[in-house]
Structure 1
Amino acid sequence: MCSLLLLSTVAAATPALAQEADHYTAVSNTAMSVTGDIWLDDFSITFENDESLNFSALVADHFQVGGRNVPASVYRVKNPADPELQNGNQLCGNGDVTYVANWALSDGMSAIAVFTGKRAPKGDDEMCALYTYQDPE
């Protein structure tokens, strides 16, 4: 009975739609204050407050970061939005998010960048916000 109660408590603490996605722990100050931890897969990103953005397509598998071409996943957001997240902060704060890019950094870290443009972004110079997370273990 006690383990069943513990299991249901853990399940309730995890965003409902994200239980099958990879859990990334917020590391940067912006990630901790805006998104909190996230759950990400090829279909959506879910934020700590249970808000989410669904993806309609993977539009690129490479991306320019600091002028270098890196392996990345660039997703088109199905229904563009700028959700209100932690502490009343918005994901972008500068319009509806239309694309989300994810790429690996060094030392087991990942970056998530968000974009508001109509065309798929080619590089990080077009982003409206950048968040850093510890990779899933």
Structure 2
Amino acid sequence: MRTTLITVFLAAISSAACLSSAMAADHYSASSNTAMSITGDVDIDDAGITFENGKELTFSDLIADSLVVDGKRVPGSVYRVAQPFDPELKNGNRLCGTGKVTYLATWSDGDGSTAIAVFTGSRPPRSDDESCATYSYQDQE
């Protein structure tokens, strides 16, 4: 009986954690031509990013809370991708075109928009200049 109660309790906690994680993701609407034609809308949180076609990149950890963008350090989030790859997205396009995505960074691009940059290098990025692609999105309201 005790084992059954523990199993039920652990299953409930696991389900609640999954539901909480799914509800915590922020939705962003593609606004740049590249975002509209490659990624579509995205949902992102500290666990990963889900693209419009359902493909995902899972993050292993948050490695920085800022990034140099256009020569200035800005607040943002730089994530390490848990299992690097370059998923096929809309119309057969890929995030970087070639090369596995190893890092992803997000930052406010001003006026209610967010930028997402993807990287293929083996070292954590310090600047958006190192990205293979950058996409723009409207923040959720």
Question: What TM bracket, shorter-length normalisation?
Answer: 0.7 to 0.9
% same residue: 62
Q: CA RMSD in A?
A: 1.1
Specify the alignment match of 1:51 in structure 2.
55
The answer to which structure has the higher helix fraction is 2
- Structure 1 residue 61 corresponds to structure 2 residue 88: no
Q: Which runs of 4+ in 1 moved over 4 A?
A: none
The count of corresponding residues between Structure 1 and Structure 2 is: 121
Paired residue for 2:84? 80
Q: Paired residue for 1:92?
A: 96
Higher Cα Rg: structure 1 or 2? Answer: 2
- The CA deviation string for residues 1-54 of structure 1, in whole angstroms up to 9 with x for no partner, is xxxxxxxxxxxxxxxx85541100000000000000000000100000000000
**Cα displacement (A) at 1:79:** 0.3
Alignment partner for residue 113 of structure 1, among 107, 114, 117?
117
Aligned position for 2:45: 41
| Post-superposition CA distance 1:68-108 (Å, at most 9, x none) | 00001000000000000000000111200000000001110
Q: 1:70 — aligned with what?
A: 74
TM-score by length of 1: 0.86
Do residues 131 (structure 1) and 135 (structure 2) align?
A: yes
Question: 122-131 vs 18-27, which deviates more?
Answer: 18-27
Find the aligned partners of 2:122 and 2:89 in 1 and give their Cα distance: 23
Give the TM-score normalised by the residue count of structure 2. Answer: 0.83
Kept after mapping to 2: 8 A contact 1:64/1:123: yes
Specify every segment of 5 or more residues in structure 2 that has no aligned partner in the other structure, as ranges: 1-20
Residue 47 and residue 18 in structure 1: after superposition, are their counterparts in 2 closer, same or farther (change >3 A)?
Answer: farther
